[in-house]
A and B are shown apart, each in its own frame.
Chain A
Amino acid sequence: EVQLVQSGAEVKKPGESLQISCKSSGYSFANYWIGWVRQLPGKGLEWMGIISLADSDTRYSPSFQGQVTISADRSNGTAYLQWGSLKASDTAMYYCARPYAVGTPGDAFYFWGQGTMVTVSS
């Protein structure tokens, strides 16, 4: 069974750094991509970016380029989302998700993590 298990909720102060994770299991993850999706409180879904677990090729939405860093550890099938300096406006639920198809980012997100709530408040 394919599973994406995300790290737990975080409460941080503005200016702090943070890395959240998304660990894959139940499939041979080396040739898949994993994406990140933001959902601001009470708002819709925003596609942030996606990374290849094969070679760490990463594509960002222009809205998030330079604001976050997506990385991955192919050896354990884990993707990461990182902030260098959090802002209150980063308060949101963050989901990781995996396309169904192997070897391409260009597919629907079939599998989803449970979400990680990040709260940034002074």
Chain B
Amino acid sequence: EIVIMTQSPATLSVSPGERATLSCRASQSLSTNLAWYQQKPGQAPRLLIYFASFRATGVPPRFSGSGSGTDFTLTIDSLQSEDFAVYYCQQYNGWPPYTFGQGTKLEIK
């Protein structure tokens, strides 16, 4: 059964220095088998968070992930100019296929 990943909102407008909260919901329980990626225009995606809450190497501590089961959150504190990008969640629970959410575009307010 294909797991459907739903991200919200589709677009989020936040001012620099403020906090952004992005959501990701799965159609079935994932435990904590969830990743978050950041993608900037013209670049490959970059892994930010794995197993729902662990930061990848080199990711600033202002990025944090939380959640388990079907509901997950990516929080970015004190937004910097370089954080405005598109963010994707991805589930990798059990055996493939694995699926991405449709993305949240984080834009400057």
Contact = CB atoms under 8 A, between A and B. Distances in A.
B47 interface: yes
Contacts, number: 77
B44 A115 contact: yes
Contacts of A113: 44
Nearest to B100: A45
Query: Chain A binding site: helix, strand, loop or mixed by DSSP?
Result: strand
Nearest to A65: B97
B26 interface: no
Interface residues of A, number: 26
A106 B35 contact: no
Interface string B51-69: 1000010000000000000
Query: Chain B binding site: helix, strand, loop or mixed by DSSP?
Result: loop
B21 interface: no
A50 B50 contact: no
The interface size bin for chain B is 20 to 34
A106 B93 contact: yes
Contact of A106 (B2, B33, B102): B33
Nearest to B57: A110
A33 to B, nearest CB: 9
Contacts of A97: 45
5 contacts: A44-B86, A44-B101, A49-B97, A106-B98, A109-B35
